[in-house]
Amino acid sequence: MTQIRKLNNKEGEQVYPQTHTKAVIDDNGYTAESRLQAMQDEINAKPGIVQITRAEYKAKKDAGLLDQNLYYFIIDEEAEPIGFAISNESATGAVEKEIAPNVYYVWGELTNLTITFGTPATNKIINEYQFEFVSGSTPTVLTLPNSVQWSNGIELETSENTRYQISIINNIGVWNSVPNM
């Protein structure tokens, strides 16, 4: 005789509705039914995670309505997006620039670009130096601090009519390029 059992979560929703079992005894003497019941019990014993706004969390806390069996993931609707600021640079020709970490600098066509690194405001996050530029009909001369080493030992040699994107973390640089059309 075949027994069919579906695995449900704490709310009674089917977690694995495609799971069917037969009453078979394994090497340890357990039936598939008892194994599934153990899995169901384990799922039911785990606390849930609830996504909630900061205001909702505060209201529930103040009213004493927080469920101690749940983990609350607080989202902040008013928070600024996390990511890099963009700095669209208008300079052309030859440029010398100290760039700040965690800002993405974008230049148009340059003949020379000399980059130095600004001091990070904190060492509690990864400080990444990123920039993009276009090499025109004459390859751009790029000058970076001597401490920068290129990923996989592949040195960047600029070519004409090419757009470059460069990222440097802990003095390890990676670069990408595409034809500039």
pLDDT by 10s per residue, the chain, length 181: 444 455 555 566 665 544 444 555 566 666 767 777 776 666 556 556 667 787 888 898 899 988 877 777 676 665 555 567 888 999 899 999 999 998 999 999 999 999 999 988 777 778 899 999 999 999 999 999 999 999 988 889 999 999 999 999 999 999 999 999 7
Query: What domain range includes position 54?
Result: 47-79
Same domain, 5 and 33: yes
Same domain, 174 and 99: yes
Name the residue type at position 35: R
Same domain, 92 and 167: yes
Q: DSSP assignment, residue 25?
A: B
The structural domain count of the chain equals: 3
pTM, rounded to two decimals: 0.56
- CA dist 27 and 24 (Å) reads 10
- CA dist 98 and 95 (Å) reads 10
